[in-house]
Structure 1
Amino acid sequence: MGLDIKKHYPKDWVVLQNRVAECFRGMSLDEKRLFIMATPLARTTQVSSNDPIFISSSEFSHECGIDISTAYTSLETASDRLFTRFFGYTAENGDRIKMRWLNKVIYKVGQGGTELYFTDEVLLLLREFDALNPYTKYKKEVVLRLKKDYSLDFYHLAKKHQTMGSFQISLDELFEQLGLPESYRRIGNLKDRVIKPSLEEITENTDINLTYENIKSGRSVIGFKFIVKEKPKPKLTAPTRDTKTIDMFCNLSDAQINKYSTILSQLSELSDLSNFPDYPTFALWIGGILRDPKSVREETAKRIFKALHSKTDFKP
């Protein structure tokens, strides 16, 4: 039986099968952003190839951090271009398969948004995960804040190989997977315009550090080794307090805080608050908020306590 990906990774997670190669091949930055916004919705809903995934210009503007005045044109252009894109994978019998991501795109002028229709085979690839179909996952919000043209491609490759700690790729494979123009064949140009700015942005803005080394044959660079290291997570410790003391915000005892923080940590509507490696660490963070609501932004505290009252059996 396959893992319930929808339950474990709701719509704020990007999840793609590892056999899907060249995910963002040749895409512009806005196309990649649109793809990243749309595929989790296709994965977590029951849409078919006849049902649209709707992305509004306001959503595109907000999630990608771009001005609303340019979001309309950017979204329409990205929709048109994404329709022309394809990807490939190798079947079990060795056949190399190419297919389009979408079978139809409709830009809704009056609604200020776009409707994307994924093919049935793509929808199956987005939803089918088991031991025979390993996958790569990462938080949607992490990649949508990346602004360099190829940062998202390198981040995807890094997360795909993170458990191994590194991966190697030849020059030809790099050009094929990223759809790089031939003008980057000069190694100095490739490093200065593509590799270095992408890796610097990833290291500065995401959950991993990404560096590289040359792979040479004689004096010629024939590929690269990329080293992936997860950034250390800040250690969370619960505030020291008398275990018999009742919390004044909602009269929560320590036992209640332990119980309800565990429940809250597994709610999909709060998953966007987590950048933690597992549920227990996320629960510890929530427990700190249940003890001291003023330890975080008021908006965050309100979300936690609203979920406490509406999604659990807690009675004040």
Structure 2
Amino acid sequence: MKNDLIVKDNILVNASYNLEVTEQRLILLSIIRARETGQGITSDSKLEIHASDYATRFNVTKEAAYSALKNAVHNLFERKFSFKDNHADTDKEIVVKSRWVSRISYVDDLAILEVTFAPDVVPLITRLEKQFTSYQLKQVAQLTSKYAIRLYELLISWKSTGRTPIIDIADFRSKLGLETNEYQKMINFKNRVLEPAIQQINELTDIVVKYEQFKSGRSISGFQFSFKHKEELIQVNNNINNAVYLASKMTDAQRHMFAHKLSELPEMGKYSHGTESYQQFAIRIAEMLQDPEQFKELYPYLKKVGYMTSTKKDTMNG
């Protein structure tokens, strides 16, 4: 699957729709097939999806692949989505509603699904001069939650920052394809939609995500997500482990010097007992730095006051 690159205009990434897992997978395979033609596609182009290809890429049985393709003939044809775009003449934002496909058929003897994208979809997977999102199919191939696939796409569109803006809860639900009467209670939304999706993403994709919730009065009004690529986290852990090793090489003078600097950081206030002086606090921090686990915890603050690590040599700026 080395060339299985999914590319979507951000308008499509931020669209509102409800597709089951098998339907999302077929759309993704169709996008790949559209790219593989090398000649571009139009609203008349037929794209072929083979059951064997579906089975291989998503690690399912051939029977499951046959079933997915057969059911798509009816289900996928009926699916619709909505997206925001600018009106060509007025440049004002409008809401467009469209089907995903204008034509779809299944050739039973060949186990092939033939798909023709609807006219509104074609530019959203070929118009790459604007803002777009891309990722490898393998990152979502193992996801079995339709909400996990959608959430991954929404997150990865912010990969340059690793953090989304605050997403209004109503807008977020709409992007995930939830009806107004589905999982209305926040506890149900979290337990059945949000938390399982995040768990799958963290276990099965290349990123690790966490979220913050924001309130308006007593009600949750929105979420903000932040994520890191697992390769980055490995590097961070390596740096911390290296730092812990270097901590064992600290002289008492260096340990007390950094403890004094840490005692003056506002962020360190949560470690203070409140009644102790800066000098007493610094002495206690120096003791904390002798413990490897506490050293790991304090490592981000140490970096702020000039402590650095290097794989080539020890660096402890003072």
Normalising by structure 2, we get a TM-score of 0.66
Does 2:29 align with 1:30?
no
Moved over 3 A (4+): 21-24
Corresponding residue number in structure 1 for 2:137: 140
Match of 2:104 in 1: 105
Instruction: Give the whole-Å Cα distance in 2 for the aligned partners of 1:24 and 1:105.
Output: 22
User: Aligned runs of 1:81-92 on 2, under 5 Å?
Assistant: 81-87=75-81, 88-91=83-86, 92=91
**3-state SS of 1:39 partner:** helix
Distance (Å, rounded) in 2 between the aligned partners of 1:175 and 1:158? 14
| 1:234-254 C-alpha deviation (Å, 9 max, x unpaired) | 68xxxxxxxxxxxxxxxxxxx
Distance 1:177 1:121 in 2: 18
Aligned residue pairs: how many? 225
Shift of 1:11: 4.8
Structure 2: unaligned runs, 5 residues or longer: 236-318
The Cα of 1:211 is off from its aligned counterpart by: 0.9
Offset of residue 121 of structure 1 = 4.0
Deviation at 1:22, TM superposition (A): 4.8
State whether structure 2 residue 16 is matched by structure 1 residue 16.
no
Which secondary structure state, in structure 2, belongs to the residue aligned with residue 184 of structure 1?
coil
Q: CA deviation at 1:124?
A: 2.5
The yes-or-no answer on 1:216 pairing with 2:210 is no
Which amino acid in the other structure matches residue 180 of structure 1? L
Question: How is 1:24-63 mapped onto 2 (pairs within 5 angstroms)?
Answer: 25-45=17-37, 46=39, 47-63=41-57
Q: Against the structure 1 CA distance between its residues 149 and 124, is the aligned structure 2 distance closer, same or farther, given a 3 Å change threshold?
A: closer
Question: Hey, what does 1:176 align to over in structure 2?
Answer: 174
- Give the distance between the partners of 1:23 and 1:61, measured in 2 at CA: 27
C-alpha spacing 1:225/1:28, structure 2 compared with 1 (3 Å): same
Q: 2:71 aligns with which of 77, 81, 92?
A: 77
Q: Distance in 1 between matches of 2:124 and 2:145?
A: 27
- The residue number in structure 1 matching 2:159 is 162
Alpha-carbon shift at residue 73 of structure 1 (Å): 1.4
Contact map agreement 2:46 2:116 (CA 8 A) in 1: yes
State how far apart, in whole Å, the 2-side matches of 1:69 and 1:170 are: 40
- Secondary structure at the counterpart of residue 27 of structure 1: coil
Q: Residue 195 in 1 paired to residue 194 in 2?
A: yes
CA distance in 2, matches of 1:36, 1:123: 13
Inter-partner Cα distance in structure 1 for 2:150 and 2:11: 15
Letter in 2 for 1:112: A
Report the alpha carbon displacement of residue 198 of structure 1 after superposing the two structures with TM. Answer: 0.7
TM-score by length of 1: 0.66
User: RMSD of the alignment, in Å?
Assistant: 2.1
Aligned-partner Cα distance in 1 for 2:52–2:7: 24
CA shift for structure 1 position 36: 1.0
CA distance in 2, matches of 1:208, 1:121: 31
Question: Could you tell me how far apart the structure 2 residues matched to 1:30 and 1:22 are?
Answer: 20
Output one character per residue of 1:117-137: Cα deviation in whole Å (capped at 9) or x when no partner. Answer: 11344222211222xx11011
CA shift digits 1:209-247 (9 cap, x unpaired): 111111111221112111122222568xxxxxxxxxxxx
Identify unmatched segments of 5+ residues in structure 1.
1-9, 236-316
| 1:244-297 deviation per Cα after TM superposition (whole angstroms, max 9, x unaligned) | xxxxxxxxxxxxxxxxxxxxxxxxxxxxxxxxxxxxxxxxxxxxxxxxxxxxxx
**Equivalent residues of 2:13, 2:154 under 8 A apart:** no
Distance 1:146 1:95 in 2: 32
Q: Is 1:26–1:178's contact at 8 Å kept on the other side of the alignment?
A: yes
Is the 8 Å Cα contact of residues 208 and 227 (structure 2) preserved in structure 1?
Answer: yes
Identity of aligned residues (%): 29
Q: Equivalent residue of 1:201, what SS?
A: helix
- Please state how far the C-alpha of 1:147 moved relative to its aligned partner: 1.3
Q: CA deviation at 1:185?
A: 1.2
Whole-angstrom CA distance in 1 between matches of 2:177 and 2:119: 25
